[in-house]
């Protein structure tokens, strides 16, 4: 079992914070809570957290300034910004201030959970690994080739990037929006299930001739690539 | 009293009061200056005539001696309106002349008396000693003193008269100013009262009210006119806003009702089927959130065309990305998404918004062309002289010409499409995005003649070519 993740929620809405803390606890994540910008900044500087979840509009010090201040102090804990503003360029300003991910309110908890988990494990991800492996599936980032049981599987460039992102976050849930953001680099709402169709095409390519399914649909959340036979 | 105070608070009255005070000060200065000058002039004349007489008397004395002098003085003293003449001994006692008494010590020194002095004539019946005169004293070689003087009553009277006249004039002026003040101030106050009365009604919510105009075209009228024009604009905007919010309220009621019904149904169910119902409810609320997001996005795009980040974006790349993104979905429902893209067309814009707009158009095309006779959806990007045209053409059922303008409006959906999922906001957003990019949105039939299977809809996003 991986060490439990510990996060800090900086959110002035106490009800929302309590709900988040409970939901995170059920997902196996320990959380602290700060209800204003100043104490959030203090707690984030004094303790070590895996991820900070920061609301943008906070009393005493706004969320963006908390992040800028942390980054100035050379504290590089990953930050996920929650925002009710939802303006066209909010994401840009948020990420520019030093945030690592951005989620407009209202959001689905599963979406938040998936993003927090990805952010929290990012430190340990083999960013520099040239080959990703899940079970008998192998993705070579250098030669852009995918093999399963040693047999080459031809993929379109986009399918390759899709699989690459899934495998980079193997064992974790990635949501449809995360896929759209990270594989296509767009943040808009595509209205229909475009991502599902792309995933199902990819799935058919990597699973059609093989017995063991790897790419799973997580109901109400997204997708996860995982080898069930391997120990967790 | 309080009314007067209010009156005094008007700018017109305050300004005129200031003018009046300044004017009075100037006038008073003028009065004193003029009277002072004329007095000095008259005094100078008096001195001149006295000097002349003294010279004459000196000549008479040298020519005819003491006797001649006395005779001459006697004659002179008897003339009407005569000067003052005094002959006095060396110690100052009056020997002859037409003056009964003098201020003492006046005869001691030769030359001009330093200042006007009081005296009394013999002939004076009135016993007032207000007679004031100016005199020259001549000392003869035998020690006798001769005083020649002139009464100053007339110049003084003249001065008093001028002052009085000026004072009266000033008084009349002040009074007139007060009356005019009152008139102007009250008039201004009345008109302002009428304006504020109308404003109060407007503030109370009656936006159809207008400020009164007198028709004289003066500054008050001009002010009313511009304010009325502003009110007209506000009324129009307000009306538009109310219509939109009415529509929103109406269109959000439907999904909310559906949500509530589903929740009720879920309550009645048990076990695993309850879970399914709850999932449906989440799906339903996601749809609602999506609608809200689209609405917010539209209003933000509309409100802040300058606030959004604009940069040079590769339109060709965006089109290619979107086509690639939607291609499998189209294929799944039996449609063929085809791209005809001119390379490396760069415009100034917002990548996300343009992507969202194009996504909306392709999504619409896929939704409404599903099952059409001709499965082709063509996405094209081409550069014309001054424009870049990005078009999505389908061969679905199309939209009747008459409805082309309508469907762009918020929440407007064709009756036959109400059964399909969607917010009714897709095209509104595209239009807002196009407006932000200083371009336009055009709707047309894909195939003008209806003879071929389905005439379809072509939606064009027309961007101006940016000259950099």
Please give, rounded to a whole number of angstroms, the shortest distance from the CA of B450 to a CA of chain A: 30
> What does the pLDDT read at residue A232?
46
Per-window interface: A 182-211 vs B, CB < 8 A:
184, 186-194, 197-198, 201
Instruction: Name chain A contacts of B367, Cβ cutoff 8 Å.
Output: 192
Burial of B217 (0-12, 13-18, 19+ CB in 10 A): exposed
pLDDT of A118 over the 80 cut: yes
Lowest mean pLDDT among A95-104, B94-103, B421-430: B94-103
User: Which residues are within 8 A (CB) of A223 and not within 5 positions of it... i.e. 6 or more apart?
Assistant: A166, A173, A174, A176, A179, A199, A215, A216, A217
Among A162, A192, A200, A201, the strongest candidate for a mutation testing the B interface, having the largest count of B CBs within 10 A, is: A192
Among B300, B306, B307, B377, the strongest candidate for a mutation testing the A interface, having the largest count of A CBs within 10 A, is: B300
Partner residue opposite A191 with nearest CB, options B321, B350, B359: B359
Segment B297-309 shows an average pLDDT of 69
Q: Are strands A215-218 and A145-148 parallel, antiparallel or unpaired?
A: unpaired
Most confident of B7-11, B148-152, B204-208, B392-396: B392-396
Top-confidence residue, A34 or B120: A34
The residues that bridge with B112 in the sheet, in sequence order, are B136
What is the average pLDDT score of chain B? 80
pLDDT of B459 over the 60 cut: yes
Under DSSP, is residue A185 helix (H, G, I), strand (E, B) or coil?
A: coil
Cα angle for residues A95, A100, A103 (degrees, 5° grid): 80
Distances (CA, A) of B100 to B71, B86, B87, B97: 19, 9, 11, 8
> What does the pLDDT read at residue B84?
79
Q: Report the run of H or E that residue A178 belongs to, with start and end.
A: helix A176-179
For residue range B332-379, what is the model confidence (pLDDT) as tens digits?
888 888 888 888 888 888 888 899 899 999 998 888 888 777 888 889
User: Which residues are within 8 A (CB) of B110 and not within 5 positions of it... i.e. 6 or more apart?
Assistant: B137, B138, B139
Lowest mean pLDDT among A20-24, B78-82, B172-176, B200-204: B78-82
pLDDT of A196 over the 50 cut: yes
The torsion defined by the Cα of B6, B7, B8 and B14, in degrees rounded to 10, comes to 130
Alpha carbon distance A55, A34 (integer Å)? 10
> What does the pLDDT read at residue A1?
43
Alpha carbon distance A30, A27 (integer Å)? 9
Confidence tier at B417 by pLDDT (50, 70, 90)? low
> What does the pLDDT read at residue B451?
55
pLDDT of A104 over the 90 cut: no
Top-confidence residue, A160 or B450: A160
Tokens of B323: 């086509």
Confidence tier at B449 by pLDDT (50, 70, 90)? low
Distances (CA, A) of B338 to A159, B222, B333, B355, B363: 19, 60, 15, 17, 14
User: Which residues are within 8 A (CB) of B348 and not within 5 positions of it... i.e. 6 or more apart?
Assistant: B310, B311, B312, B313, B437, B466, B468
A191/B360 Cβ within 8 A: yes
Among candidates B343, B356, B337, which has minimal Cα distance to B315?
A: B343
pLDDT of B453 over the 70 cut: no
pLDDT of A124 over the 50 cut: yes
Q: Are strands A51-55 and A5-10 parallel, antiparallel or unpaired?
A: parallel
Among candidates A146, A169, A171, which has minimal Cα distance to A157?
A: A146
Among candidates A148, A145, A134, which has minimal Cα distance to A207?
A: A148
Q: In chain B, pLDDT over 90 holds for what percent of residues?
A: 5
Distances (CA, A) of A203 to A177, A214, B332: 18, 8, 15
SS3 letters across chain B: CHHHHHHHHCHHHHHHHHHHHHHHHHHHHHHHHHHHHHHHHHHHHHHHHHHHHHHHHHHHHHHHHHHHHHHHHHHHHHCCCCCEEEEECCCCCEEEECEEEECCCCCCCCEECCCCEEEEECCCCCCCCCCEEEEEEEECCCCCEEEEEEECHHHHHHHHHHHHHHHHHHHHHHHHHHHHHHHHHHHHHHHHHHHHHHHHHHHCCCCCCCCCCCCCCCHHHHHHHHHHHHHHHHHHHHHHHHHHHHHHHHHHHHHHHHHHHHHHHHHHCCCHHHHHHHHHHHHHHHHHHHHHHHHHHHHHHHHCCCCCCCEEEEHHHHHHHHHHHHHHHHHHCCCEEEEEECCCCEEEECHHHHHHHHHHHHHHHHHHHCCCCCCEEEEEEEECCCEEEEEEECCCCCCCHHHCCHHHCCCCCCHHHCCCCCCCCHHHHHHHHHHHCCCEEEEEECCCCCCCCCCCEEEEEEEECCCC
> What does the pLDDT read at residue B307?
55
Distances (CA, A) of B212 to B27, B185, B204: 41, 18, 17
Q: Are strands A5-10 and A29-34 parallel, antiparallel or unpaired?
A: parallel
Order of strands, sheet of B387-393, starting from the edge strand that comes earlier in the sequence: B336-341, B376-383, B387-393, B457-464, B440-445
The residues that bridge with B313 in the sheet, in sequence order, are B347
> What does the pLDDT read at residue A53?
92
Size of interface A-B (CB pairs under 8 A): 71
Confidence tier at A110 by pLDDT (50, 70, 90)? confident
Tokens of A207: 């699973």
pLDDT of A199 over the 70 cut: yes
Let me know: does B265 contact B250? Beta carbons within 8 Å. Answer: no
Top-confidence residue, B279 or A67: A67
Lowest mean pLDDT among A145-154, B427-436, B446-455: B446-455
pLDDT of B306 over the 70 cut: no
Alpha carbon distance B394, B271 (integer Å)? 45
- Rg from Cα positions in chain B: 53
pLDDT of A223 over the 90 cut: yes
For residue range B21-48, what is the model confidence (pLDDT) as tens digits?
888 888 788 878 887 888 788 888 888 8
Distances (CA, A) of A223 to A136, A146, A227: 19, 19, 13
Q: Which residues of B290-299 are buried (b: 16+ CB within 10 A; e: fewer)?
A: bbbbbbebbe
Burial of B184 (0-12, 13-18, 19+ CB in 10 A): middle
Q: Which residues of B327-336 are buried (b: 16+ CB within 10 A; e: fewer)?
A: bbbbeeeebe
Tokens of A183: 């594989």
pLDDT of B258 over the 80 cut: yes
Question: Which chain B residues touch A if contact means CB-CB below 8 Å?
Answer: 279, 282, 286, 289-290, 293-294, 296-297, 300-301, 304, 307-309, 321, 324-326, 328-329, 332, 350-353, 355-356, 359-360, 363, 366-367, 422, 426
Segment B371-400 shows an average pLDDT of 85
Confidence tier at B115 by pLDDT (50, 70, 90)? low
The torsion defined by the Cα of B296, B302, B306 and B312, in degrees rounded to 10, comes to 90
Partner residue opposite A190 with nearest CB, options B301, B359, B367: B359
pLDDT of B223 over the 80 cut: yes
Let me know: does B110 contact B49? Beta carbons within 8 Å. Answer: no
A187/B363 Cβ within 8 A: no
A86/B293 Cβ within 8 A: yes
SS3 letters across A117-137: HHHHHHHHCCCCCCEEEECCE
pLDDT of B448 over the 90 cut: no
The backbone region for B65, taken as left when phi is positive above 0, alpha when psi lies in -120 to 50, beta otherwise, is left
> What does the pLDDT read at residue B129?
54
Let me know: does A212 contact A228? Beta carbons within 8 Å. Answer: yes
> What does the pLDDT read at residue B245?
79
């Amino acid at each position: 079992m991986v060490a439990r993740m510990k996060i800090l929620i900086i959110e002035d809405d106490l009800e929302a914070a309590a709900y988040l803390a409970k939901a995170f606890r059920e997902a196996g994540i320990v959380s602290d809570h700060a209800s204003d910008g100043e104490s959030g900044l203090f707690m984030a500087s004094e303790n070590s957290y895996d991820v900070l979840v920061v609301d943008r509009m906070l009393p005493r010090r706004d969320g963006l300034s908390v992040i800028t201040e942390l980054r100035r102090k050379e504290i590089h804990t990953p930050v996920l910004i929650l925002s009710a503003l939802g303006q066209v360029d909010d994401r840009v300003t948020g990420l520019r201030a030093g945030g690592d991910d951005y989620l407009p309110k209202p959001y689905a908890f599963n979406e938040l959970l998936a993003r927090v988990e990805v952010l929290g494990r990012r430190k340990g991800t083999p960013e520099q690994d040239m080959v990703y492996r899940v079970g008998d599936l192998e993705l070579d980032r250098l030669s852009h080739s995918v093999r399963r049981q040693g047999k080459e599987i031809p993929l379109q460039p986009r399918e390759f990037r899709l699989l690459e992102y899934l495998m980079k976050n193997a064992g974790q849930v990635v949501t449809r929006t995360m896929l759209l953001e990270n594989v296509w680099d767009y943040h808009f709402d595509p209205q229909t299930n475009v991502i599902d169709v792309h995933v199902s095409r990819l799935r058919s390519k990597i699973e059609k001739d093989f017995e063991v399914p790897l790419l799973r649909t997580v109901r109400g959340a997204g997708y996860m690539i995982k080898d069930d036979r391997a120990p967790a | 009293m309080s009314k007067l105070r209010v009156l005094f608070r008007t700018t017109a009255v305050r300004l005129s009061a200031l003018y009046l005070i300044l004017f009075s000060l100037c006038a008073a200065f003028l009065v004193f200056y003029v009277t002072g000058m004329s007095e000095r002039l008259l005094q100078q004349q008096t001195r001149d005539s006295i000097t002349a007489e003294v010279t004459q008397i000196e000549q008479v004395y040298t020519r005819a001696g003491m006797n001649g002098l006395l005779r001459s003085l006697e004659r002179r003293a008897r003339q009407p309106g005569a000067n003052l003449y005094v002959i006095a001994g060396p110690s100052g006692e009056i020997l002859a002349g037409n003056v009964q008494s003098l201020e003492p010590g006046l005869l001691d020194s030769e030359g001009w008396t330093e200042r006007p002095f009081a005296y009394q004539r013999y002939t004076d019946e009135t016993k007032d000693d207000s007679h004031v005169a100016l005199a020259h004293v001549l000392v003869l070689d035998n020690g006798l003193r001769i005083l020649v003087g002139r009464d100053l009553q007339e110049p003084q009277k003249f001065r008093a008269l001028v002052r009085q006249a000026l004072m009266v004039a000033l008084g009349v002026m002040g009074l007139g100013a007060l009356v005019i003040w009152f008139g102007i101030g009250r008039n201004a106050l009345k008109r302002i009262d009428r304006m504020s009365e109308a404003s109060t009604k407007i503030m109370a919510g009656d936006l159809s009210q207008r400020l009164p105009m007198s028709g004289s075209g003066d500054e008050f009228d001009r002010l009313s006119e511009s304010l009325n024009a502003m009110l007209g604009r506000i009324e129009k905007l307000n009306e538009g806003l109310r219509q939109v919010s009415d529509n929103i309220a109406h269109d959000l009621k439907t999904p909310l009702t559906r949500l509530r019904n589903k929740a009720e149904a879920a309550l009645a169910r048990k076990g695993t089927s309850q879970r399914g119902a709850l999932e449906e409810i989440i799906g339903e609320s996601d749809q609602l959130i999506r609608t809200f997001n689209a609405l917010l996005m539209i209003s933000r795009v509309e409100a802040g065309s300058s606030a959004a980040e604009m940069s040079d974006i590769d339109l060709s790349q965006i089109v290619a990305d979107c086509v690639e993104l939607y291609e499998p979905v189209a294929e799944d429902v039996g449609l063929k998404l085809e791209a005809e893209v001119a390379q490396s067309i760069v415009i100034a814009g917002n990548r996300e918004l343009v992507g969202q707009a194009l996504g909306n158009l392709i999504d619409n095309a896929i939704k409404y062309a599903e099952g059409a006779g001709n499965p082709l959806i063509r996405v094209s990007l081409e550069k014309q002289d001054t424009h870049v045209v990005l078009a999505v053409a389908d061969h679905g059922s199309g939209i009747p010409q008459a409805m082309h303008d309508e469907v762009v409006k918020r929440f407007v959906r064709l009756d036959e499409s109400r059964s399909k999922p969607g917010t009714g906001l897709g095209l509104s957003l595209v239009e807002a995005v196009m407006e932000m990019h200083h371009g336009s949105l055009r709707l047309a039939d894909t195939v003008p003649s209806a003879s071929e299977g389905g005439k379809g809809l072509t939606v064009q996003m027309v961007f101006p070519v940016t000259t950099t």
